[in-house]
Structure 1
Amino acid sequence: MGKLLLSMSLVLASASAWATEITPENLVGRYKAETRVGFQTYYVHLRVLDAKDFEIQRAYSDGRKDEMCNGSYNLANSLYRTENGVMAAKTFRGTFTCPSDRSRKLNFNINFGNKTVEDLEKGTSVTVTTSAAPGMRLSTYVKKQ
């Protein structure tokens, strides 16, 4: 019985090591995102350069790509309601411009909810809001490359 309790204690104590919280430092990398709006699918390549800068580029199913745009972000803690109560979440809040029109700024938020770094590596769905589609909450599939 003592060995069983010891084993269970070790497993429970190490459970936090299995789920790595998303931070600006471990968010660095390349991501592919896919979302559907109506009958159209949008593909985006996102490259998080460091703890505050990123690049973003729209891609098409035939391999074409739009210009590479760049911007800055912060990773904020936020709260959201579920049927089980209030949960804490991480939200990527980004603003970017494109070389063709630096006066036009676009904003977007990625609500990661309770996702972990491991979820991003496997691929997961997140909620995205953007100034390009005001009032819409887009369910977006994101996978770290």
Structure 2
Amino acid sequence: MSYAVDFVTVSTEGLESSPVVDALAGLRANEARYFKNKYDHVFTVEPAADAQATIDWVTGILKEERDIEIASPPLEATEFEVAGIRMAYVFYQSGLSINVMYTLDDAGKRAVGFKLSDGMEVPAELAERFKFARQRSKLAGTIRGSYFTIKNEH
């Protein structure tokens, strides 16, 4: 069952099995606040079992573009379109969040972003390939992020 993420009262619903549950919930709420403020979009997530098509799309892009396979199991995912951009997010048990920004116009921006919850280690599958920049968030503490540009059609 899908539900809207509340960024005023941060909930750990759906993320309880994560060792960094509070930080991951804050990271998810941080994304919800961004989309509400920028696009007036309500950020709604669903359990991984109900979002297999979204998870498969993100997993396929990671595998095809950079031969990356995420070891941690996905907990939740969402997919939506705002301002001509197809967005997908997958939240993993380890505290990792992966988002895909895929502009539907051929001339647009297409990228995969990684965000690490406060307190988690950089996953081994990403450690040697990416440098992570830090950003502060009132909801999520310190977020470390990185990205790569998508080169192919997906």
Q: Tell whether the structures are fold-level matches, with TM greater than 0.5.
A: no
Greater C-alpha Rg: 1
TM-score scaled to structure 2, two decimals? 0.33
The alignment's TM-score, normalised by the length of structure 1, stands at: 0.35
Where is the helix percentage greater, Structure 1 or Structure 2? Answer: 2
Which protein has the bigger strand share?
Answer: 1
